[in-house]
Structure 1
Amino acid sequence: MNFSVYWQHADAVSKTLYFILLAMSIMTWTIFILRLMGTRQLKQQAYAQLSQALGKLKAKFSPLNFEQRKAVAEQALLRQISAEKSQAEKGVAVLGTIASLAPFVGLFGTVWGIFHALVAVGKSGQAGLAQVATPVGEALIMTGLGLAVAIPAVLAYNICTRVNRGLAHELQDQAHSLLIDTMLQQDSSTAQVNTKATSENLVGGQA
């Protein structure tokens, strides 16, 4: 049975289920492609945002000791990493939802097709191939459509999750590097200020 025959015999429920599965498929591929295309750009933006988050705090580090500066910098980096991870995970939950629901939508279409087959048998009083072929064909098509939507959604969800996990690790590594550099720079600046103050005190005492 080709698709045109199926569409001619499908009722409103079967057609509605078909359009639901079609919408799920379009959403799956759209989200998957956008997530993959945006990952590299998001990574570069995340690196810049981490640097800016620390740059805004450098002016406030002067009155703080080393432990306080480190705690403040860590909290700023963790907050920024959390924001970037939330940005990267947009749409991924939708993929998981589609992967979970699509088989059940197809299964409902299967049950509906079998119900039509039983109704046709009941009306005719005969359980021949002519009475059950079209409804059973509808059921098989809906099963196939449900799987055709669910399998790519599962793969897309797993790939996006793995990419986001790798991005999180890279952001943490970048944050650690920035934290070390910032602490070293602040310690160097503090040491220079202390040395200058000591020199001025010595000069003042000799005078």
Structure 2
Amino acid sequence: MKVEESPCHYSWLKSPRWRGKPMEVGPLARVLMMYATGDAQARELVDSSLSLLKLDQRALFSTLGRTLARALETKILCDNLQSWYDRLVANIKQGDTRTFNERYFDPAYWPKEGKGIGIMEAPRGALGHWIVMKDGLIDNYQCVVPTTWNAGPRDPNGQTGAYEAALQDNHTLVDQAQPLEILRTLHSFDPCLACAVHLMDAHGNEQLKVKIR
């Protein structure tokens, strides 16, 4: 993954790219992946929903599709909760009651030097944290949160992030003084700007480039 500071002056966000390409993360991306890999439940839910709405698969790549995907993913999660809970109870009955490795919570075992990476799929999408420890203290810390992926502005190669690309789809504003259509599209990503905003200098100058391997 490559993270670059954008030359644009309308955002404080980074512009992460995967293999040089912008990515949208979140429920729509996950539902599309399940659909594309043949997950039976995802296919049935997507196909039946599109049929009910009298839409084809292209409609998924829209504000409506993003909102629909969030609802369908919730349905999939709810349908599987009982099974996951039953398996958890079965593990506990078999004696598996461990919830964490105590050594990692004991300062005596903390390394003085080291690097750590934490990557997971959060409700809003792909989430990554990187840390460097030096002399027992945090020397460098970096995070790329789902909103960074989606809201990141145009990069030096002119590629737009997911927000900007979604707004280029010829939105018709009923009332330009109250652009609810634009807000509806942005809200479909469930933004969390407090996590994603990063500062630049007072003149908007590029300060650094960060590469994460």
Q: TM-score range by the shorter chain?
A: under 0.3
TM-score, reference length from structure 2: 0.26
Greater fraction of residues in helix: 1
TM-score, reference length from structure 1: 0.27
